[in-house]
Amino acid sequence: MARDCSDLLTLELPGVTFTKAEAQGSAPIPADPMSAMTGGSPRPVPAGPHCLVEGRIGDREGVGGHYAIRFQMRLPEKWNGRFLFQGGGGTDGFIAPAIGAIPSTGSTATPALQRGYAVVSMDSGHDKPNLDFAVDQQAVLDLAYASIGKVSDTAKALIRARYGRAAQTSYFMGCSNGGREAMQAAMRFPTEFDGVVAGNPGFHLSRAALGSVWDVRQFQALAGVNGGAKVGHGAA
């Protein structure tokens, strides 16, 4: 059991590099500007004292540059014995604050971290803009599903090291791509989680892309020349 938060920097796990392990006070966690598609919050979160850990899994040189699965974990002093894996959004590539807010616009539910959960978030294995990471096969596999198992193993090891015992229950929660990740967690890692919350899982993304093109063409046709809206049949 790690007496101090900083002791976690010395934890040795295969393929894992810890870059930060710092005790946090009661200062609010800043709002997440990408909260619309992550488990972050559009408002500052007044979290209590906790241990903030950041690191990388599987550092490597791949096609198009350097890759690693970057993660952030927050371990509250007043732990309730539960663990939450916070899903991402879009094509990931960023690390949202690991607080476990409900990933639904307008939700006022208390974030998981405030309720005593240990929470982890990740970038799914790349930090490339758009789809530039797709030239690297391992990066695609990590985004698809592999990063979930790797980060879950690391997070649970941190929990055991910090609290001296394993989590009693573990959950995965996400929306959109995070919802897809939740479905992957249930299908590919069924023994890792006691439950998943999969909101609007983003499957069939190629069809969604074509649907977006169709939407734009239809709206453009209705807008008319220079944005002047056409009057529909039967309009007064």
Is residue 232 in some structural domain? Answer: no
Is residue 159 in some structural domain? Answer: yes
191: which 2 tokens?
């023994």
The pLDDT, as a whole number, for residue 102 is 81
Measure the CA angle with vertex 194, ends 191 and 195; round to 5°.
120
Q: Quick check: 231 pLDDT over 60?
A: no
CATH number, residue 96: 3.40.50
The Cα 168–Cα 121 span in angstroms is 19
The least confident of 26-40, 89-103, 134-148 is 26-40
Q: What is the C-alpha radius of gyration for the chain, rounded to an integer number of angstroms?
A: 20
pLDDT tens sequence across 190-214:
999 999 999 888 877 667 767 778 8
- 86 in helix, strand or coil? strand
Is residue 62 in some structural domain? Answer: yes
Does this model's pTM top 0.75? My answer is: yes
pLDDT tens sequence across 60-95:
999 999 999 999 999 999 999 999 999 998 889 999
CB atoms within 10 A of CB 124: 29
What's 208's DSSP letter? H
- How many domains would you assign to the chain? 1
Q: Determine the structural domain holding residue 44 and report its residue range.
A: 5-202
Longest dimension (CA), the chain: 74
The Cα 113–Cα 99 span in angstroms is 5
The Cα 128–Cα 11 span in angstroms is 28
Is residue 228 in some structural domain? Answer: no
